[in-house]
Chain A
Amino acid sequence: MTDKRSETSLPIHLFLIEVSGMDARLIGLSLERHMKGRVQLTNDLTHAQAALIDFDRRGAEQALQRLPPGMQLGVVGYALNPKEFTNKFAGIPIIGKPLNLENLWAALTRAINEPPTPSSSAAPDTPPPSALETPKTLGDSIDTEEGIELCGVFDDLPVTRTENLPEKLFFDPDDYLVGQLFRAVVKSQASQRPLAVAGLYRLIRVVLKPVPQCVTAFRETRLRPISMTQLPPATTRIVYDPGSQDLTGTEIAFATEDILWNVAAWAARGRLPLGSDPYRQVCLKSWPNFTRTFVPPHALRIAALWVRGYASPIDIASKLAIPQRYVFSFYTAAHFAGLLLYEPLALAAKTSQPDLQTPPPPVHAPPVKRPSLLARILKKLLNAV
């Protein structure tokens, strides 16, 4: 924001290179809603101050080389795994998918100030980073760019209650797919009528029988970026759905709880739904179905602890000695999946300590027979997921 150039030449005209139609639409919608006046898409490269290149596309490298050499153009990369491209495209800031507007803004201002030099272009001789990487471990996705994408970068709140909660800690579910999908599920269950979320390029149907499911032709790879993107009002709507129209034959059925968990976890990015109290004690009713849902960082540890009794998200983070943002993401997903039990407020006022006494409260080193053995088995199993 302090960048003089970006301040004097707003809006930044952004040209998309090798970005798919769906991504381009989502980026356009997000910019229109949340960065209007700051960043604007353009179809004219000569007009653009910056370009966003999808490095996951085959033609990205050639497209980068084809850019006019003397052109003062800030270039930003866009990739599912930015680490894969940092060596190959050294000097070009790369943001992860799906789009995070704050990251985009930071990368754009940086790129405009430091346009790529000739040496910044592709270096095909560099060995692929994947060849140098060590095998994945449990903590791999934590505190990396992907971990940040999934759980944000917020600092911890004070352990004791504070009234001044930062606004950015919360998000309005109605701005995201999760709000509309959750409403469709609730309405459908209340009315016992089949409903669907329409307005995206595929329907998401809510089916009640024989088991509550959501049926859609969206694959998870598509559902995830849509879930993470803020949708302009009226993008989606809930419609009555008799179920036989517009079937593509490629629909997948997700358990309602699983899909709500996923879209909420993807939208959360370390935040809580508006109106949540991070100091209020809740209890996890049951483990999420982790074989079929997205598993955020630390999720298994959080679940194992939270099913034992009432505790606030702050308490859970403190007991596990992990950043609160991971617990907030978990909380948000569990909230929309219907897996949380809320301690009555009257009771909450009386209790100041987490109620994890019955069964016994776990601590960092609870009395288990062979903790080191368990850790070693766990390490062995990590590559399986």
Chain B
Amino acid sequence: MNVNANPEDEVTVKEYFGNIWRAISTTFKGMMITFKYVYSVKPVTIEYPEVREVLPDNSRSRLFNNADDCISCTQCALVCPVDCIYIASTPRSKEDPELKTSDGTAIKQNLTQFTIDTALCCYCGLCTTVCPTECLTHTTDYEYSQYTLDTMMYDYLDPEVRAWKDRLVSK
């Protein structure tokens, strides 16, 4: 189609039939591609919820903190860009028995509060990289929506929350 032509200009017979032929041939070529997709390309839709996709191991979904391993260094709370980690701790006195984390670091603080506001978290992963004992990790669980905001405050010292460890954290 001569798109530079003014609509009021006259179109020659050759151009007229040329336009029709070009319109039909390009549309036909496009339809051939579409039919190839209809008949020979298998559908790639994952039929959720019967089939669940397995996310890669380093995927940054729900956070989990293993509170037994936490040494209350508060690096995660300091580096968080949106300030969603709330930590409180008290120092352990010398009379208390010695506690160690699973990789041998001595625990010098009693952790009294470790709460993460999961609704505020932006899933950037900065807190997991600065944790020295690797107790704070991202798991691959992505199905945890709730109806109200206050149920999205995860208190990791709560025994119910601690019990998630077996389900969420892979070995």
A and B found bound together: no
